[in-house]
């Protein structure tokens, strides 16, 4: 059980660089890694207002920002809509509702079954159903990258 991905995790998923947003400004770090250009693709999977805005800001002109995380109904994300079509080739919100309309879940399952989508490697810890309160506490505190309840 580990709370932060190790370097072997990084290699397994093909990352060339890692930015720890708890230690540095991720937008500035990404700009520095790309000589000021920004990321070609940015994926946000938490659904947090700040991380959605950071992913957008870290994306280069004509890059693609994909928001997978589903945020709170109480939060709004600030993006300059006038500049959106000028600066980015895409900013998509996938969220958890999108797969039901697009057939994404069957495609993801097929990729997983074929060994091309390494979901098991993303799981930091598993919990029994009786540990649901512990799992929820770990999720809200950020103790795990991904926790899964097995029943």
- DSSP-based three-state secondary structure for 84: helix
| Residue extent(s) of CATH 3.40.50.720 domains in the chain | 7-116
**Distance, CA of 19 to CA of 124 (rounded, Å):** 19
Report whether CATH 3.40.190.10 matches the domain 7-116: no
Three-state secondary structure call for residue 77 = coil
Secondary element (H or E) of residue 29: helix 26-33
Tens place of pLDDT for every residue, the chain, 151 residues? 334 445 566 667 777 888 888 899 999 999 999 999 999 988 887 778 888 889 988 998 888 888 877 666 777 777 666 555 545 555 555 555 544 556 677 887 888 899 888 888 888 899 999 999 999 998 888 788 788 999 8
């Amino acid at each position: 059980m580990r709370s932060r991905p190790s370097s072997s995790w990084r290699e397994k998923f093909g990352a060339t660089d890692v930015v720890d947003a708890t230690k540095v400004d991720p937008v500035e770090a990404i700009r520095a890694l790309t000589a000021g250009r920004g990321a070609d693709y940015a994926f946000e999977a938490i659904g947090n207002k700040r991380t959605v805005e950071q992913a957008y800001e870290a994306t280069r002109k004509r890059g693609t920002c994909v928001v997978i995380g589903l945020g709170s109904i109480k939060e709004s994300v600030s993006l300059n809509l006038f500049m959106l079509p000028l600066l980015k080739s895409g900013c998509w919100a996938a969220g958890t509702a999108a797969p039901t309309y697009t057939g994404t879940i069957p495609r993801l399952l097929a990729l997983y079954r074929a060994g091309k989508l390494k979901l098991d490697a993303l799981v930091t810890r598993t919990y029994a159903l009786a540990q649901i309160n512990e799992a929820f506490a770990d999720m809200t505190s950020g103790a795990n990258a991904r926790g899964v309840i097995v029943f």
